[in-house]
Structure 1
């Protein structure tokens, strides 16, 4: 048995970490005026944000075509893999997870074990890292899948966006009507609930919103210090690094990663979005 870890580009795993953990990837796309660009490949981050600011219409996004997924599985099979742990962004905002299942049924000689991360970005990557660690430790497929499912029940991310324009237009927000008519000077806080992006709270000013996210994360941890965290940003690295200083003071025993929001996710959250994510595992990264 030879097991591969396969994820999608929204996990935003660095080339270094992909090489370290032998993680494979399929790509989601950003579309401007119907022209598709693979995120992180066909368009630079700078060009993406420039176009999102200046284009008259917001970009749209698309999942990998099933045919592309089939090609990736064939490639893995040719490399000697018998099984694939496929970890994808939340099924509530993308059909990529379902594409993994569909493509798995179409390719003989390789078994696909699809895991719905019910989230995205670096918290999704955490599942991939843990799967790879367990493969190195000689764990069975059942043990790996059970651990990842447990992690899904024990991770969370809270997002602060500047406004709900992108999410509402893209149809990715559940309960958006709760914010209608009260958006002036408000920073919405969002999170994933049962695979969907849900509006959690509305807070006045960015500073108060970030502090509230820290409070919500402390409630989630409930004193637990065996965890790994991430601070995420949509083209706001300087602000993210400043926020990290406060976050580390509040959670001194937890290791944090700072990472970009990928273009596909930034399309929906908008530029300037910030997030704090956590999983109740010390991944020793």
Structure 2
């Protein structure tokens, strides 16, 4: 989601993500009992990118290490009271969920610094990467894309490309995986960027939240929408439109919200799609949603299921449930 300082078709995509425990807002923390994001600090595995285009993303992509391959992940930050942690490195969804429940503890998020991106880009180029394609969450939601752009201009604008996915979560993650697959197959920087952009353009991100006020305070939705959800006790379904969070429809119950998530996802998927289910603190509802999607879309791989990153979770709050749909071309 926007930060307060706050952006495949391969068989690997069919894997189920291990349950992570964290989401964007101040800086990263290590996930509790979750599969750590691969190369979250952006340092290990430099040999994997020698002679090819390197792909970089940020921690809001929610990429489990089992899928990430050679992708470098630069963490955003989460502030828990007076403690600052790196998303996906120092904090997991479980700790974040507890912090959100403790309303005495202020939870905020922030983008990575341009220096963090510049260090990653220099590291990859020094390791032999021919170029870097850096794909990030929507610039409408975060300053992450802008920080990456500033770093690219400083390091080498001719060899570092920065892409606004206009998505988040596995909407961003699927675009990153497509870029990494193209890079591994020897594509040039323009084609790697195009692979990410093509997937991002087909992506639908649809979700519901229990705590609209967090999105309002973070500037992600307007005051009127937040008041509507609180006063009328409705559960708005939200989606991303041109990279912005927009109201889709209103429902009265969690059961109805899940049903409408299924119906919207099935309508968006077409004959076959890559799918992901994200949640914060509601694993049973997430598994139910994944089961229903698998039943309704038998030609598609089973959805990747994971808890959202600490940065995203800080904005959507406990009880958030969503689906990402990328129809296959």
| TM-score when normalising by structure 2 | 0.79
CA distance in 1, matches of 2:156, 2:169: 30
Selected match of 2:304 from 257, 260, 271: 257
| Structure 2, gaps ≥5 residues long | 1-50
- The correspondence of residues 258-273 of structure 1 with structure 2, limited to 5 A, is 258-273=305-320
- The correspondence of residues 21-40 of structure 1 with structure 2, limited to 5 A, is 21-40=69-88
* 1:280 corresponding residue in structure 2: 327
- CA distances 1:203-259 after superposition (whole Å, capped 9, x unpaired): 1101111111222223323xx223100111112112211221111111111111111
Distance 1:182-1:39 versus aligned 2 partners, 3 A rule:
closer
* 2:60 corresponding residue in structure 1: 10
CA distance in 1, matches of 2:308, 2:210: 14
For the pair 1:136 / 2:184, whether they are aligned, the reply is yes
CA contact (8 A) 1:100 1:112 kept: no
* 2:41 corresponding residue in structure 1: none
Instruction: Report deviation, 1:107.
Output: 1.0
Instruction: Report deviation, 1:45.
Output: 2.8
Distance 1:74-1:32 versus aligned 2 partners, 3 A rule:
same
CA contact (8 A) 2:135 2:162 kept: yes
Instruction: Report deviation, 1:148.
Output: 2.0
Instruction: Report deviation, 1:112.
Output: 1.3
CA contact (8 A) 1:58 1:267 kept: no
- The correspondence of residues 186-265 of structure 1 with structure 2, limited to 5 A, is 186-221=234-269, 224-255=270-301, 256-265=303-312
Instruction: Report deviation, 1:58.
Output: 3.7
* 2:44 corresponding residue in structure 1: none
| Structure 1, gaps ≥5 residues long | none
* 2:6 corresponding residue in structure 1: none
- CA distances 1:135-156 after superposition (whole Å, capped 9, x unpaired): 2222222222223222222110
- CA distances 1:33-73 after superposition (whole Å, capped 9, x unpaired): 35321012122332222122114254110000111111111
Instruction: Report deviation, 1:127.
Output: 0.9
Number of aligned residues: 277
Bigger strand fraction = 1
- The correspondence of residues 54-65 of structure 1 with structure 2, limited to 5 A, is 54-65=102-113
Distance 1:137-1:108 versus aligned 2 partners, 3 A rule:
closer
| RMSD of aligned Cα (Å) | 1.8
CA distance in 2, matches of 1:186, 1:146: 39
* 2:174 corresponding residue in structure 1: 126
- CA distances 1:165-209 after superposition (whole Å, capped 9, x unpaired): 110111112x44145245343111111111111121111101111
CA contact (8 A) 1:156 1:191 kept: yes
Higher mean C-alpha deviation, range 140-149 or range 156-165: 140-149
| TM-score when normalising by structure 1 | 0.91
Higher mean C-alpha deviation, range 114-123 or range 46-55: 46-55
